[in-house]
Structure 1
Amino acid sequence: MTLAEHVAEFTSTLDPSTIPPEVIEKAKVTLLHDLGVGLAGHRLAETGYAFAKENGACDPRNGARLPIDGTPVTVESCALATGALIHARTQDDTQTAISVHLGSTTLPALLALADRANAPGRDLLVAMIAGYEAASAIAEGNSSPSTTRGFRATSIYGPLAAAAASARLLNLTTAQTVSALGLAAAFGGGTNQTWLAGTQEWRYQVGAASRNGMVAALLAARGVTGAPDALDGAAGHLQAFAGTTETTTELGDEWRILRVTYKPYPICAINQVPVTVLTALAREHDFKADDAVSLTVELNPDDASYPGIDTHGPFRDVGGTLMSLPYCLAVALRDGGIQLTDLYGFDDPTLMDLTRRITVTAAADVPQGGCRITVHTREGTHTSGYAPDETTFNWDRTETADRLRALTPETPLSPTRLDEFITTALNLDHHPVRELIDATIVDPKE
């Protein structure tokens, strides 16, 4: 079988009764986190929402509702805008090994299709798991070389996640799912230049990936065919983007969704551990920004070379600051953490001076996602490091809900309504998806 055939056979025949309870739980917690941080970043998604309303307005019977305000738009417009919403704070889930934001590319398509069809929540969860497993298996071993070529992994593997997930939700056959994956392979694309240029493609790449994968599944449902070897063919997706046709595609034995982690800060996934390590080191040794003469952070070579990580400004958009590890560490050293508003300090001369004292280097002995930090202060030198494991930022439902409640002032929901949303998301296998969307919609009278 081709890679697409192998993946499609797994996702289209996935028996919900064989999915372990911890995998279903992981899907619910991940959904809660992703849509929750989307609620907290809603003001940053205003342009995407305005675009969807202007270009996608439709009869409520034929469309899906946008989270938060409930406006009915076409499913394509809904996916694009919801992707921008979930990714607004860049705090959506990630899988470090493949550098892909699976939530903001899979969930927008599923939420739109499920709201339109009044689908059961359990169907969405199974489809979500199918999408996560499919894209993870395809991207393994390939996302790193495609990133080296300049492509953004989320933009080229995200459509495959959305296609596999949408095909599952639409109950497509294995053959139709193969076509959906083939079409999605043809619809993927996007580079990392946005991080270097400080422009805003990154905000919409995820929604575009979700929309394109969903459209691929909808076309396949109508009989449009996609190449069965679109992924691993001689002129296929992997050869074009990663320069290889080699894959490892065992599915169903090890559930890759369990590797998905979350973000405590609204910054790049690579920067999460270094910020956490530095804030702990500063507290332990009681030094502050003014005490730091210089700071060196060592990263895994793949992390250190990721576009935008080793930049020192000047910055003109939060896409530059959230990616810049020197900037993020400077804020963390000054403030003991990072809030969304901290990413706008482009013109702060003190912060920029501190940023220039921070050096990022590559070290082969540092694992991916980890770091080693050395701070030279006027009083001495302090060093600390961290190697992540399967528990790092892998929160359970209680911690995820508590962290979301801490963001209540940034969401459009009252504390009571936020709790209702949390309860619905964590029990989605017993609710229709429309009730989840209902739980996000703001009552103008509140």
Structure 2
Amino acid sequence: ALPTDFQATAALAIGADSLLLTTGKHGLYLVTVAEIKPFPLKGHAISHTQYFSSLIRIDEKTFALGTYTNGCYIIDKEGNLIQNFSRRSGLQNNNIRSLYCDKNRNIWLGLDNGIDFIAYNNAVKHINPASLTNGSGYASAFLNNQLYLGLSDGLFQLPLPGLKDISYAANDFTPVAGAEGQIWGLSTLNNQLLVNSHDGLYSLAAQGLRPVLKGTGFWTVQAGAGNLLAVAGKYTGIQLLQVSDNAITARQTVPGFHESARFVTVDNNNTVWTSHPYRGVYKIEGIESSRPTVRLYTNQNGLPSALNNHVYRVRNKIVIATGKGIYSYNRGKDVFEPAPEFKQIFGEKSIRYLKEDAQGNIWFIHEKNLGVVDFAALKPQLLYFPELKDKMVSGFEHINPINECNILVGAENGFYHIN
């Protein structure tokens, strides 16, 4: 029997002989010729006793629900929560009185005291569900059909079905036990996930989180030229790691180098390059020996300045993103020079982040703007995403091009997804 105070607030045909009803205080109901029964919603902290005010179809697989207290929910046909738009994600308030989906699948919201617009069919979507606790996004990784997000307050994971666009997955992230606090980076080596955190380096396996080395913070891990070696940048120095099929273990710290190593890469000769924002760029050769060679490069060695240099490996070359464009290393002269192949693209733009995707396109940060160099045309094109300006964690930007349909960008609150 229906509750005595049952009140239907909206109805939507979802099949030839079925309706979906929203109610004031009793959740959703599925109505068929044979019966009327509750339609459970599945997701993080969805209350079935809240007031559902409106219901619309976005497409054949997704619906939007309006509420008086928690904004707008996007759900799939099985009732799984995909996304929640609320005041926290930019709405003027959480009191939704009506909804409308236009021909471009964008959503208009009639509020208690205004109108809002959600560009739902946009290529850029904000991923910041309540389960992520509004932390800042620093790192991400995709491994074995699991999406991992590293935030300022811990590591979270989400099992992913075979979706082409992962932004349509239910946003019910769960925290990884033992990985609370600041996560600086995530790396995958030999089908294993490495977690760089404020208090150490950890590996995550089916058995849970296992410490590789504790006692200091780790920024990043990069694979060495050989399959059995990896290099980790930490708060003070460079750590060598041994990689095997079932474990990653700590070897020695590289002697003679004690600077913070947040930006690290390794070339084909197992030479480690690391940049320090206030010192310059270091080249470390013979990393497995007891007396490696450490050399510092500054404006005395071709760089435009000793400040604000960021080292990356792009198109199989060691390059430096600087305040005056991209520089590359001339081994014959042992100096850095403006990289001619990038100068025609960037000129002397201030660049502080570079990431190459599987298609050979290069994602970058210019000042506080996210862009990509598209090499699909005869002449490379610079494309920008103005809607993400000032939305990223300044100085700690993160871009992860999983594939052409799924690019994750760390944000001040959660992440952004670009298709």
Band of TM-score, shorter chain: under 0.3
- Whose RCO is larger (CA < 8 A, sep 6+)? 1
TM, length-normalised to structure 2: 0.26
Of Structure 1 and Structure 2, which has the larger fraction of its residues in strand? 2
The two structures have a TM-score, normalised by structure 1, of 0.25
- Higher normalized helix content (fraction of residues): 1
